[in-house]
Structure 1
Amino acid sequence: MAEAHQAVAFSFQITHEGVHINYDTEILNIVWTSGVRSYRKRFTRSLNNIKNGVFPSSLEFLAAILVLVTACHFVFEIDPSFGFISFASSHFPITSIVKLFDLADSARSIIACFIYGICVWVAKAMVMKYTLRCLLIYKGWMYESHGSGPSLLSQIWVFFMKMLTIKKPLLYSYQGALPRLPLPSVSDTIDRYLMSIRALCENEEDYQRKTKLAHEFRDGVAKRLQKYLIFKSWWASNYVSDWWEEYVYLRSRSPLMINSNFYGIDTLFVVPTSSQTSRAANLVYSCLIFRRLIDRQELKPIMIQGLVPLCSWQYERLFNTTRIPGIETDKLVHYSDSQHIVVLCKNKYYKVNIYFKGRLLLPREIESILDKIVADESQALRGEEHLSVVTAVDRVSWSQTRERYFSRGINKTSLDAIEKSAFVLVLDDVDFEFDEKDPTKLDNYGQTLLHGSGYDRWYDKSFDLIVGRNGRAGFNAEHSWADAPIMAHLWEFILAYDFANLGYDENGRCRVGNGFQPPAATRLKWEFPEELCQTIDKYVIMAQELVVDVDLKLIMFQEYGKGFMKKNRVSPDAYIQMALQLAYFRDSGKFSLTYEASMTRLFREGRTETVRPVTIESAAWVQSMHDQTKTKEERIALLKHACNKHQVGYQNAMCGKGIDRHLFCLYVISKYLEIDSPFLKEVLSEPWKLSTSQTPHGQAGLLDLKKYPKHVSAGGGFGPVADDGYGVSYIIAGEDKIFFHISSKKSSNATDSLRFAKNIMRSLNDMRELLTVAS
């Protein structure tokens, strides 16, 4: 009955005794504070938009210019405007304004000074912004050898960059200055493509066939397709990102679980508390602090070498975002604000308001709400206990079920609560365990975060925050709205903020907060007709078939880390990619098309580009490791040459000189124009047998990782991208640890994650032995 009472905030009755007005002051206060908060956010965003629009200039500089111009005109009797102020003060539209308000001549001059000052300020801001954009177009600094030092041109570039970025930027300050992703020529892309497949071709005849196809495409329909793509690159902020999001992610009809979503793991060597609700409360509060930093644009933009900004566009959809299923394509829906989260506990769903009377709830207050949720002994309804499985099956099935059973009534209301939440918190009913002596526990940890039981994650939300029964945590993230570095930044921030700013008392309970008891959570209500229950039961079987087929292994390599790699003057990323190539060759006896993700966030709205690690140089080195006629010196030379080649390929991808995104966009245009291209069809149908990705760290900057080496996350992973291939994610966790997340499918006779893990460790040890002997 309390819920029914709260549903009526205001009512009135007219009787023979008069008008009776009834209202609930608490509800009206909530509505009032919510409105105030909303308008305060709008005002802050409007002010920030002005600051971002004129960056690297500032509003403070506007005030300085206005004071200077006015002082020159009135005090020193100097005309800094070359006659504009005198002309403007006596001509339209200033004269009309003066007549209307009957202002004195001095007031006319002040208005003219202000108009001139604003014009100077806007002109100066635009010059500074486009100068900064021109500086950011320059990418020569990426290719310079660190050993030889920067060139004179780079030194000049650094000087001007420092001059223009001396002011503290907001999160989106650099967006207007970032250059657009450059469109490479078809000839350059074809040349790079042919170089990338040379080592993959079975024989010379196969290579010549592909070369002929490529040249026919280049000299034929490619010219027409490229013209359309040039037009798009002129008017679109990024000629790739929108099509990549739509056709690679949103139009995919396969299940998100395993095939698309990815996960992240807690710090393994530091467990701050064993209390599930206490840890969850601190992490929820830390997430909301991160969201507030984004809303206020106080989060520092990520900078390379402290000078070059990365695009911050993807942060916008980190919270309050959900993926809505459709028959042909899904859509991403982002809500400007959300004042609640949804908690999934023991297969029941609860709506938790995270604000009370206009302020964010503190950890101890959130903790008390979660304690009551965990203590709730009521049983989940039939259908409710496996409800989230609808987001784990193929998108067409979920779309049809959503339209039929969740488009009206209380089911729609409850589904709206989930989809409009800031994020979903999952209080899992199992322990997340780690034991260096028992690697299977870490494997189970990763599997639980990747897919759980198949029906205890809401895969459509931008991310689920997952906390185990013993206080360890992780996340599961949907991929279409952004790439892994954004979630990695959030994850690193909340783990560091939990340790550095919040903490726990001697009983493992939340330390920050007071004795205030916030309103209890509201359990979401559902209706489950028998037909819907049977549909959900069918989906559970489908999800279980996907879950049991996943072969996921996590390994912690502790023999050495990036310190040894840098000592031998090789890029750590290139070094590990060579180890993966050697391991794959030993695993399968051949080379296969390999995908490595590279970010293109040096450009506006940039996402990723593909680096192709299999090169002529990498293949030559791998083969030399099995050629007894090669000396160690020759193998070392081949290894370093392959690493340098890979690093250049990675830099090219970051600078917009990749292969696959360009060809992908040409393919999309060919489909629009109904043009058949055998070359594009063959290129885009080639399977990626090995998909790799590095998990970034060190972005949050809250903890000195050298001082707290045990507070590094174990990274995260994803499912296999091919039925007979591997998915490998890794994180270089300090000087002496590397975590690998290896996934494949048990149904494939060609793959075995444990076997591949052993080959990776063997390859790393062989490479250390090779370089150690040399040194």
Structure 2
Amino acid sequence: MLRARKAAALSQSRWLRWAFSKRKSSSSSDSEFLHRSIVPTMHYQKSLPRLPIPKLEDTIRRYLAAQQPLLDEQQFRETEKVAQDFLAGEGKRLHQELVAQDKKNKHTSYISGPWFDMYLSAREPLVLNFNPFMSLAPDPESERNEQLARAANLTCSAVRFLKTLRAGLLEPEVYHLERSRARSDAFKKLVRWAPASLAWYASFAAGAFPLDMSQYFRLFNSTRVPRAGRDELVTEPDGRHLLVMRKGHMYVFDVLDRDGNAVAPARVRDNLSWILSDETPAPAFPPGALTTENRDVWAGLREKLLAAGNEETLRAVDGAVFCLCLDDVELPDAVRASHNMLHGDGVNRWFDKSLSVIVARDGHAAINFEHSWGDGVAVLRFLNEIFSDSTRRPAVAPGSPGAGGPTPDARRLSFRLDDELREGVVRAKAAFDAAVAGLTIDAMQFTDGGKERVKKSKLSPDAVAQLAFQMAFLRQYGVTPATYESCSTAAFKHGRTETIRPASVFTRRCAEAFVRPDRHRAAPELMEMLRLCSEHHGRLTKEAAMGQGFDRHLFALRHLSASTHAFYADPAYAAINHNVLSTSTLSSPAVGLGGFAPVVADGLGVGYNVHDDWIGCNVSGYPARDVSEFLRCVRLSLEDIFAVLDGKDLAR
């Protein structure tokens, strides 16, 4: 674990030195940047607070509270005893060891190393098991949603993002409270000259919370290389080329010149136009399929690729700025879009790349990303910026003339495949096809209310959405499920995520009152239950965001343990971590929809967003669950909740 932390820190340090040297030597014009931040991009990084390790007694208390709605009385008593024994014995020793180790590694967080290990040691295929997607909203100018124009504009905006980041000119990621003084240029100029060791404190005093940006360097030129037992993250910042995939073929061309300046947009357009017009038949053995394999199997096949003389080709793939996937499909609805952006056909992707921008024939665009290197905060910032830049100042107009001059410099990569590698591609594609055949995705829009109506009732919109999921599952299956909601801990140095546990005694009591009314339920009584759910969910969310959840603490303690304590062997611990409902929300006008596969075979993957006047859900599941029926139950639950918000009694 210490080696992993040091390797990550060294990799980032090398990248920062490289980027700074490019910053000094680059002669780029302002047109090549998104903006020029007054405060340097990484100015707050040194002074960020460290992720706290919760008190063990608080962790056990929160853990037991989360177990209560999932267990009957006898099960809870048994789990409570095991937990208290852990608190007094082995858990106390492990906690002390974790605190001592954390004090020796003040450059990072206590969760960073174990979290990297968890991701990189996982042997399941990345597709469906780890990589999520975020879909971009359409370009407001409909003619710019033509595939070539949209792909070229998103590529040029992504290069601007890259250059702005590496020049230290990208506005630092800051969470602002309302009416924050930290938004003003005057304050930013003051902070700019503050020592980096004090910058966070100045911003905090002004009501703003700078966020960790240590993951951003992995957005570009990075890939997850399969290795036996544990994969490796590799970043090659000298790469100047883009990787483009179409019909399973792989192409590269430079998007940066030798001086680090952006290639002319017309040149980008010409190269993409040439790729889109290439009529070479699809390869019989597309190498992208190999990235859908079990990681150990793929590691062995990659070694065979190297032995077969593909070292330079793989280096070109790994070191590409990012991957652009041009898909020959049209996506008329959310369901088909979700399937395509989450997994596609399994051959027009290189799932190992840290970042893939996908553009369909109708201009529908999305980002699919490998998850080990980072979380949604960095990817969402990238998505927001390229959407805004590509729509406000598009680099290429539809039907505009090309650059002219020399033939486009895009070239198609060629892999040398022997019989064993060809067979590996065939097996990988067959396994992929079987896996995605069992995946169902469905979507729903509830248009009878949203954030504004919920806030008017002084309730949390997220709490209402999560309660609707609890009610829906209870209505459909008659039980309260183990539920996971992702929460970022980017307010801390090298923070990753924490788990919010939306299922509580409050949601169970409220859900049962709505779903199983044994008598007439008056609106005031139900409103009081909704209020208690909202208040409790708000506390859980705040605790998680401040690093005071219980999941990551218990995970880190288990990572330290040389043997399995009775606490971790308790069936209740396995059950609460068998997240039947895995949920995540993204709030941005640039996001069309987002999604991911369930994390367990009998689970549901719930991507959702509460907009001002509507609520959207994008849900995935395997044959063990009826996705469409779940969404029908979510709609019924929301109808009941909003009826109560309108003062109507609930009667069955």
After TM superposition, the score normalised by the length of structure 1 is: 0.73
Provide the rounded CA distance (Å) in 1 between the counterparts of 2:301 and 2:97.
39
Matched, 1:772 2:642: no
Provide the rounded CA distance (Å) in 2 between the counterparts of 1:371 and 1:343.
12
Deviation at 1:585, TM superposition (A): 1.2
Provide the rounded CA distance (Å) in 1 between the counterparts of 2:608 and 2:50.
30
For the 8 Å contact 1:600–1:608, the answer to whether it is kept is yes
Deviation at 1:42, TM superposition (A): 3.5
Q: What does residue 284 of structure 1 align with?
A: 155
Provide the rounded CA distance (Å) in 1 between the counterparts of 2:41 and 2:96.
35
Report the residue type matching 1:204 in the other structure.
E
Q: What does residue 492 of structure 1 align with?
A: 384
Q: Which piece of structure 1 moves more, 259-268 or 354-363?
A: 354-363
Deviation at 1:681, TM superposition (A): 3.0
Residue-by-residue CA offset, 1:111-153 (whole Å, 9 max, x unaligned): xxxxxxxxxxxxxxxxxxxxxxxxxxxxxxxxxxxxxxxxxxx
Deviation at 1:601, TM superposition (A): 1.1
Provide the rounded CA distance (Å) in 2 between the counterparts of 1:257 and 1:375.
29
Matched, 1:396 2:296: yes
Residue from 560, 565, 575 that aligns with 2:464: 575
Residue from 256, 263, 267 that aligns with 2:133: 263
For the 8 Å contact 1:290–1:490, the answer to whether it is kept is yes
Q: What does residue 169 of structure 1 align with?
A: 39
Q: What does residue 622 of structure 2 align with?
A: 745
Matched position secondary structure for 2:70: coil
Provide the rounded CA distance (Å) in 2 between the counterparts of 1:528 and 1:230.
50
For the 8 Å contact 1:664–1:684, the answer to whether it is kept is no
For the 8 Å contact 1:344–1:350, the answer to whether it is kept is yes
Matched, 1:597 2:483: no
Matched, 1:658 2:552: no
Matched, 1:362 2:275: no
Residue-by-residue CA offset, 1:646-682 (whole Å, 9 max, x unaligned): 1101101111111110000110111xxx233011233
Matched position secondary structure for 2:647: helix
Matched position secondary structure for 1:350: strand
Distance 1:178 1:586, change over 3 A: same
Question: Residues 112-261 of structure 1 correspond to what in structure 2 (within 5 A)?
Answer: 168-201=38-71, 203-236=72-105, 237-247=108-118, 249-261=119-131
For the 8 Å contact 1:275–1:509, the answer to whether it is kept is no
Residue-by-residue CA offset, 1:150-191 (whole Å, 9 max, x unaligned): xxxxxxxxxxxxxxxxx9422211111111111112111111
Distance 1:578 1:632, change over 3 A: same
Q: Which piece of structure 1 moves more, 266-275 or 457-466?
A: 266-275
Deviation at 1:317, TM superposition (A): 0.8
Matched position secondary structure for 1:360: coil
Residue from 529, 533, 541 that aligns with 1:642: 533
Deviation at 1:387, TM superposition (A): 1.4
For the 8 Å contact 2:609–2:615, the answer to whether it is kept is yes
Distance 1:406 1:559, change over 3 A: farther
Residue from 542, 564, 569 that aligns with 1:681: 569
Deviation at 1:273, TM superposition (A): 2.5
Deviation at 1:745, TM superposition (A): 0.5
Report the residue type matching 2:314 in the other structure.
L
For the 8 Å contact 2:581–2:604, the answer to whether it is kept is yes
Deviation at 1:331, TM superposition (A): 1.1
Provide the rounded CA distance (Å) in 2 between the counterparts of 1:362 and 1:740.
40
Residue-by-residue CA offset, 1:430-454 (whole Å, 9 max, x unaligned): 1122xxxxxxx32011101111112
Matched, 1:406 2:298: no
For the 8 Å contact 2:139–2:391, the answer to whether it is kept is no
Provide the rounded CA distance (Å) in 1 between the counterparts of 2:542 and 2:16.
43
For the 8 Å contact 1:561–1:736, the answer to whether it is kept is yes
Q: What does residue 313 of structure 1 align with?
A: 214
Deviation at 1:525, TM superposition (A): 1.7
Residue from 165, 174, 180 that aligns with 1:303: 174
Residue-by-residue CA offset, 1:474-510 (whole Å, 9 max, x unaligned): 12111111112221221121111111111664xx235
Distance 1:741 1:360, change over 3 A: same
Distance 1:524 1:684, change over 3 A: farther
For the 8 Å contact 1:714–1:731, the answer to whether it is kept is no
Distance 1:607 1:516, change over 3 A: farther
Distance 1:767 1:547, change over 3 A: same
Residue from 403, 411, 419 that aligns with 1:530: 419
For the 8 Å contact 2:330–2:360, the answer to whether it is kept is yes
Q: Which piece of structure 1 moves more, 652-661 or 261-270?
A: 261-270
Residue-by-residue CA offset, 1:342-398 (whole Å, 9 max, x unaligned): 111122111111124633123222111111111122234432xx2111100110110
Question: Residues 485-524 of structure 1 correspond to what in structure 2 (within 5 A)?
Answer: 485-502=377-394, 505=397, 508-509=398-399, 519-524=408-413
Matched position secondary structure for 1:757: helix
Question: Residues 436-447 of structure 1 correspond to what in structure 2 (within 5 A)?
Answer: 441-447=333-339
RMSD of aligned residue pairs (Cα, Å): 2.2
The structure, 1 or 2, with the larger RCO (C-alpha pairs under 8 Å, 6+ apart) is: 2
Provide the rounded CA distance (Å) in 1 between the counterparts of 2:86 and 2:545.
25
Provide the rounded CA distance (Å) in 2 between the counterparts of 1:510 and 1:309.
41
Provide the rounded CA distance (Å) in 2 between the counterparts of 1:40 and 1:179.
26
Q: Which runs of 5+ in 2 are unaligned?
A: 1-14, 26-36, 181-207
For the 8 Å contact 2:387–2:590, the answer to whether it is kept is no
Report the residue type matching 2:21 in the other structure.
F
Deviation at 1:229, TM superposition (A): 0.2
For the 8 Å contact 2:248–2:349, the answer to whether it is kept is no
Report the residue type matching 1:303 in the other structure.
V
Report the residue type matching 2:523 in the other structure.
K
Q: Which runs of 5+ in 1 are unaligned?
A: 1-36, 48-166, 434-440, 698-710
Question: Residues 582-621 of structure 1 correspond to what in structure 2 (within 5 A)?
Answer: 582-621=471-510
Q: What does residue 7 of structure 2 align with?
A: none
Distance 1:608 1:413, change over 3 A: same
Residue from 273, 277, 287 that aligns with 1:387: 287
Deviation at 1:264, TM superposition (A): 1.4
Q: What does residue 369 of structure 2 align with?
A: 477
Residue-by-residue CA offset, 1:52-73 (whole Å, 9 max, x unaligned): xxxxxxxxxxxxxxxxxxxxxx
For the 8 Å contact 1:171–1:301, the answer to whether it is kept is yes
Report the residue type matching 1:638 in the other structure.
M
Provide the rounded CA distance (Å) in 1 between the counterparts of 2:17 and 2:111.
35
Report the residue type matching 1:612 in the other structure.
R
Provide the rounded CA distance (Å) in 2 between the counterparts of 1:327 and 1:481.
18
Deviation at 1:335, TM superposition (A): 1.8
Report the residue type matching 2:376 in the other structure.
A
Q: Is the radius of gyration larger for structure 1 or structure 2?
A: 1
Q: What does residue 725 of structure 1 align with?
A: 603
Provide the rounded CA distance (Å) in 1 between the counterparts of 2:17 and 2:341.
38
For the 8 Å contact 1:720–1:744, the answer to whether it is kept is yes
Between the two proteins, what is the percent identity of the paired residues? 31
Deviation at 1:422, TM superposition (A): 0.7
Matched position secondary structure for 1:327: coil
Provide the rounded CA distance (Å) in 2 between the counterparts of 1:264 and 1:207.
39
Matched position secondary structure for 2:458: coil
Provide the rounded CA distance (Å) in 1 between the counterparts of 2:370 and 2:338.
16
Question: Residues 74-113 of structure 1 correspond to what in structure 2 (within 5 A)?
Answer: none
Q: What does residue 105 of structure 1 align with?
A: none
Distance 1:619 1:46, change over 3 A: farther
Deviation at 1:338, TM superposition (A): 1.9
Provide the rounded CA distance (Å) in 2 between the counterparts of 1:318 and 1:261.
14
Matched position secondary structure for 1:323: strand
Report the residue type matching 2:247 in the other structure.
K
